[in-house]
Protein backbone atom coordinates (compact mmCIF):
# COMPACT_ATOMS: atom_id res chain seq x y z
CA UNK A 1 0.00 0.00 0.00
CA UNK A 2 1.55 3.23 -1.15
CA UNK A 3 -0.27 5.57 1.20
CA UNK A 4 -1.40 7.64 -1.76
CA UNK A 5 -5.12 8.16 -2.30
CA UNK A 6 -6.50 5.70 -4.83
CA UNK A 7 -9.26 6.75 -7.20
CA UNK A 8 -11.60 4.20 -8.82
CA UNK A 9 -13.63 5.45 -11.77
CA UNK A 10 -13.78 5.26 -15.53
CA UNK A 11 -10.86 6.52 -17.54
CA UNK A 12 -12.49 9.86 -18.14
CA UNK A 13 -13.71 13.02 -16.42
CA UNK A 14 -17.25 12.42 -15.21
CA UNK A 15 -17.81 12.95 -11.52
CA UNK A 16 -14.21 12.17 -10.59
CA UNK A 17 -12.59 15.05 -12.42
CA UNK A 18 -13.16 17.66 -9.66
CA UNK A 19 -11.45 15.23 -7.26
CA UNK A 20 -8.44 14.94 -9.58
CA UNK A 21 -8.30 18.74 -9.83
CA UNK A 22 -8.46 19.24 -6.08
CA UNK A 23 -5.85 16.63 -5.21
CA UNK A 24 -3.57 17.98 -7.92
CA UNK A 25 -4.05 21.57 -6.77
CA UNK A 26 -3.16 20.48 -3.24
CA UNK A 27 0.00 18.86 -4.60
CA UNK A 28 -1.15 15.37 -3.61
CA UNK A 29 -0.05 12.43 -5.76
CA UNK A 30 -2.66 9.76 -6.33
CA UNK A 31 -3.21 6.42 -8.05
CA UNK A 32 -6.08 5.47 -10.31
CA UNK A 33 -7.96 2.27 -11.09
CA UNK A 34 -10.02 2.44 -14.27
CA UNK A 35 -13.33 0.65 -14.67
CA UNK A 36 -13.51 -0.81 -18.15
CA UNK A 37 -16.00 -3.68 -17.83
CA UNK A 38 -19.29 -4.38 -16.12
CA UNK A 39 -17.66 -7.37 -14.45
CA UNK A 40 -15.10 -5.14 -12.70
CA UNK A 41 -17.89 -2.90 -11.44
CA UNK A 42 -20.07 -5.79 -10.30
CA UNK A 43 -17.10 -7.25 -8.43
CA UNK A 44 -16.48 -3.98 -6.60
CA UNK A 45 -20.11 -4.01 -5.47
CA UNK A 46 -20.02 -7.67 -4.50
CA UNK A 47 -16.83 -7.12 -2.49
CA UNK A 48 -18.54 -4.34 -0.54
CA UNK A 49 -16.32 -1.48 -1.67
CA UNK A 50 -19.09 0.85 -2.79
CA UNK A 51 -21.30 2.06 0.04
CA UNK A 52 -24.20 2.96 -2.27
CA UNK A 53 -23.10 0.76 -5.18
CA UNK A 54 -21.74 3.81 -6.97
CA UNK A 55 -18.49 5.39 -8.05
CA UNK A 56 -16.58 7.68 -7.57
CA UNK A 57 -14.69 5.75 -4.94
CA UNK A 58 -11.64 7.25 -3.27
CA UNK A 59 -9.58 5.18 -0.86
CA UNK A 60 -7.95 7.70 1.41
CA UNK A 61 -6.65 7.61 4.99
CA UNK A 62 -8.08 4.15 5.60
CA UNK A 63 -11.57 5.10 4.38
CA UNK A 64 -13.43 3.92 1.29
CA UNK A 65 -15.06 7.26 0.49
CA UNK A 66 -17.97 7.64 -1.89
CA UNK A 67 -20.27 10.60 -2.69
CA UNK A 68 -18.33 13.20 -4.63
CA UNK A 69 -19.16 16.10 -2.32
CA UNK A 70 -18.10 14.17 0.76
CA UNK A 71 -14.81 13.29 -0.90
CA UNK A 72 -14.13 16.86 -2.03
CA UNK A 73 -15.04 18.31 1.40
CA UNK A 74 -12.68 15.89 3.10
CA UNK A 75 -9.79 16.72 0.78
CA UNK A 76 -10.45 20.46 1.09
CA UNK A 77 -10.56 20.18 4.89
CA UNK A 78 -7.44 18.05 5.10
CA UNK A 79 -5.30 20.24 2.85
CA UNK A 80 -6.42 23.62 4.21
CA UNK A 81 -8.40 24.63 1.16
CA UNK A 82 -11.63 25.19 3.08
CA UNK A 83 -11.22 28.63 4.60
CA UNK A 84 -10.25 29.55 8.14
CA UNK A 85 -13.65 29.50 9.87
CA UNK A 86 -17.30 28.57 9.48
CA UNK A 87 -18.25 31.70 7.56
CA UNK A 88 -15.45 31.29 5.01
CA UNK A 89 -16.46 27.66 4.66
CA UNK A 90 -20.05 28.79 4.05
CA UNK A 91 -18.92 31.09 1.23
CA UNK A 92 -16.74 28.38 -0.31
CA UNK A 93 -19.63 25.91 -0.09
CA UNK A 94 -22.02 28.36 -1.77
CA UNK A 95 -19.60 29.05 -4.60
CA UNK A 96 -18.69 25.40 -5.09
CA UNK A 97 -22.32 24.26 -5.09
CA UNK A 98 -23.27 26.89 -7.66
CA UNK A 99 -20.41 25.85 -9.93
CA UNK A 100 -21.38 22.20 -9.43
CA UNK A 101 -24.84 22.99 -10.85
CA UNK A 102 -23.17 24.38 -13.99
CA UNK A 103 -20.76 21.44 -14.17
CA UNK A 104 -23.71 19.04 -13.90
CA UNK A 105 -25.06 20.39 -17.18
CA UNK A 106 -21.67 19.77 -18.81
CA UNK A 107 -21.47 16.32 -17.23
CA UNK A 108 -24.76 15.24 -18.72
CA UNK A 109 -24.16 16.83 -22.13
CA UNK A 110 -22.40 13.88 -23.85
CA UNK A 111 -25.35 11.66 -22.90
CA UNK A 112 -28.04 13.86 -24.38
CA UNK A 113 -29.78 12.57 -27.50
CA UNK A 114 -28.47 14.11 -30.75
CA UNK A 115 -31.59 16.21 -31.28
CA UNK A 116 -31.26 17.77 -27.82
CA UNK A 117 -27.56 18.61 -28.01
CA UNK A 118 -27.95 22.06 -29.52
CA UNK A 119 -30.60 23.06 -26.99
CA UNK A 120 -28.45 21.78 -24.13
CA UNK A 121 -25.39 23.61 -25.39
CA UNK A 122 -27.43 26.83 -25.53
CA UNK A 123 -28.55 26.17 -21.97
CA UNK A 124 -24.97 25.77 -20.78
CA UNK A 125 -23.96 28.98 -22.53
CA UNK A 126 -26.96 30.89 -21.17
CA UNK A 127 -26.40 29.75 -17.60
CA UNK A 128 -22.64 30.33 -17.67
CA UNK A 129 -22.98 33.85 -19.07
CA UNK A 130 -26.11 35.00 -17.23
CA UNK A 131 -26.10 33.12 -13.95
CA UNK A 132 -22.72 31.84 -12.85
CA UNK A 133 -19.84 33.78 -14.35
CA UNK A 134 -21.33 37.19 -13.42
CA UNK A 135 -21.37 36.17 -9.76
CA UNK A 136 -17.66 35.38 -9.65
CA UNK A 137 -16.77 38.35 -11.85
CA UNK A 138 -18.50 40.56 -9.29
CA UNK A 139 -16.92 38.85 -6.27
CA UNK A 140 -13.42 39.33 -7.70
CA UNK A 141 -14.13 42.91 -8.76
CA UNK A 142 -15.55 43.92 -5.40
CA UNK A 143 -12.69 42.71 -3.22
CA UNK A 144 -9.94 43.05 -5.83
CA UNK A 145 -8.10 40.05 -4.41
CA UNK A 146 -6.51 37.17 -6.26
CA UNK A 147 -8.67 34.47 -4.69
CA UNK A 148 -12.39 34.14 -4.24
CA UNK A 149 -12.51 33.78 -0.44
CA UNK A 150 -10.49 35.29 2.37
CA UNK A 151 -7.58 36.29 0.15
CA UNK A 152 -6.39 32.71 0.23
CA UNK A 153 -6.29 29.88 -2.31
CA UNK A 154 -9.22 27.52 -1.67
CA UNK A 155 -11.36 24.75 -3.14
CA UNK A 156 -13.61 27.46 -4.62
CA UNK A 157 -10.78 28.76 -6.81
CA UNK A 158 -9.93 25.27 -8.07
CA UNK A 159 -13.56 24.52 -8.86
CA UNK A 160 -14.06 27.81 -10.69
CA UNK A 161 -10.91 27.26 -12.73
CA UNK A 162 -12.09 23.78 -13.74
CA UNK A 163 -15.49 25.18 -14.74
CA UNK A 164 -14.04 28.03 -16.78
CA UNK A 165 -11.88 25.64 -18.82
CA UNK A 166 -14.73 23.16 -19.26
CA UNK A 167 -17.10 25.84 -20.55
CA UNK A 168 -14.40 27.31 -22.80
CA UNK A 169 -14.02 23.92 -24.45
CA UNK A 170 -17.63 24.25 -25.54
CA UNK A 171 -17.78 28.02 -26.03
CA UNK A 172 -14.29 29.34 -26.74
CA UNK A 173 -15.08 33.05 -26.39
CA UNK A 174 -17.20 32.69 -23.28
CA UNK A 175 -14.92 34.84 -21.10
CA UNK A 176 -15.01 37.78 -23.48
CA UNK A 177 -17.37 39.77 -21.24
CA UNK A 178 -15.55 38.86 -18.03
CA UNK A 179 -12.21 40.65 -17.60
CA UNK A 180 -11.80 39.66 -13.94
CA UNK A 181 -12.29 36.00 -14.81
CA UNK A 182 -9.72 36.29 -17.59
CA UNK A 183 -7.16 37.57 -15.09
CA UNK A 184 -8.23 34.91 -12.58
CA UNK A 185 -7.77 32.17 -15.17
CA UNK A 186 -4.25 33.38 -15.98
CA UNK A 187 -3.28 33.60 -12.29
CA UNK A 188 -4.62 30.11 -11.56
CA UNK A 189 -2.87 28.67 -14.60
CA UNK A 190 0.42 29.95 -13.24
CA UNK A 191 0.12 28.43 -9.80
CA UNK A 192 2.74 25.66 -9.75
CA UNK A 193 0.48 22.72 -8.89
CA UNK A 194 -2.19 23.79 -11.34
CA UNK A 195 0.34 24.57 -14.04
CA UNK A 196 1.67 21.02 -13.65
CA UNK A 197 -1.85 19.57 -13.83
CA UNK A 198 -2.49 21.45 -17.06
CA UNK A 199 0.57 19.99 -18.77
CA UNK A 200 0.40 16.88 -20.98
CA UNK A 201 1.03 13.65 -19.09
CA UNK A 202 -0.81 14.80 -15.96
CA UNK A 203 -3.76 12.82 -14.53
CA UNK A 204 -6.13 15.37 -16.06
CA UNK A 205 -8.57 13.62 -18.39
CA UNK A 206 -9.53 14.82 -21.89
CA UNK A 207 -13.06 15.93 -22.82
CA UNK A 208 -15.46 12.97 -23.02
CA UNK A 209 -15.66 11.33 -26.45
CA UNK A 210 -17.87 8.64 -27.99
CA UNK A 211 -15.67 5.88 -26.56
CA UNK A 212 -16.08 7.28 -23.04
CA UNK A 213 -19.87 7.47 -23.42
CA UNK A 214 -19.92 3.91 -24.73
CA UNK A 215 -17.83 2.69 -21.77
CA UNK A 216 -20.11 4.41 -19.25
CA UNK A 217 -23.21 2.85 -20.78
CA UNK A 218 -21.55 -0.57 -20.89
CA UNK A 219 -20.16 -0.57 -17.33
CA UNK A 220 -23.34 0.74 -15.68
CA UNK A 221 -25.79 -1.24 -17.79
CA UNK A 222 -28.54 -2.67 -15.58
How many whole angstroms separate alpha carbon 39 and alpha carbon 37? 5
How many whole angstroms separate alpha carbon 71 and alpha carbon 119? 32
Among residues 87, 117, 143, 195, which is the contact residue for another protein, using CB under 8 A? 87
By the rule CB under 8 A, 107 interacts with another protein: no
Q: How many residues bind another protein (CB under 8 A)?
A: 28
Residue 41 CB: number of other CB atoms within 10 A? 21
How many whole angstroms separate alpha carbon 136 and alpha carbon 138? 5
By the rule CB under 8 A, 146 interacts with another protein: no
Q: Which is nearer to another protein, 21 or 133 (CB)?
A: 133
How many whole angstroms separate alpha carbon 111 and alpha carbon 117? 9
By the rule CB under 8 A, 98 interacts with another protein: yes
By the rule CB under 8 A, 41 interacts with another protein: no
Round to the nearest angstrom and report the end-to-end CA distance of the chain: 33
Residues in 109-138 that interact with another protein by CB under 8 A: 131-132, 135
Among residues 4, 37, 39, 51, which is the contact residue for another protein, using CB under 8 A? 51
By the rule CB under 8 A, 74 interacts with another protein: yes
**DSSP 8-state symbol, 32:** E
**E strand map for the chain:** 6-9, 31-34, 57-60, 63-66
Identify the burial level of 19 via C-beta atoms within 10 angstroms of its C-beta, where 0-12 means exposed, 13-18 middle and 19 or more buried: buried
Q: Which is nearer to another protein, 90 or 213 (CB)?
A: 90
User: At its nearest, how many Å lie between another protein and the CB of residue 131?
Assistant: 6
Q: Which is nearer to another protein, 138 or 211 (CB)?
A: 138
Q: Which is nearer to another protein, 55 or 194 (CB)?
A: 55
How many whole angstroms separate alpha carbon 11 and alpha carbon 5? 16
Contacts of 211 (CB under 8 A, 6+ apart): none
Q: Which is nearer to another protein, 61 or 118 (CB)?
A: 61
Stretch that binds another protein, among 63-71, 103-111, 153-161, 170-178 (CB under 8 A): 63-71
Interface residues with another protein (CB under 8 A) are 51-53, 61, 63, 65-70, 73-74, 77-78, 86-87, 89-90, 93-94, 96-98, 101, 131-132, 135
Amino acid sequence: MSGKPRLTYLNGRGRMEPVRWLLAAAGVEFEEVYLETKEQYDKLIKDGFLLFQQVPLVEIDGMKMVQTRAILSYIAGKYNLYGKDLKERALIDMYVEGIADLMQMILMFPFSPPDAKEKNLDSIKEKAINRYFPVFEKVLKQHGQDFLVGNKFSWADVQLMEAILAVEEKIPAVLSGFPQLQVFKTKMSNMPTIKKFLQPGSPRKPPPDAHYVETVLKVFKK
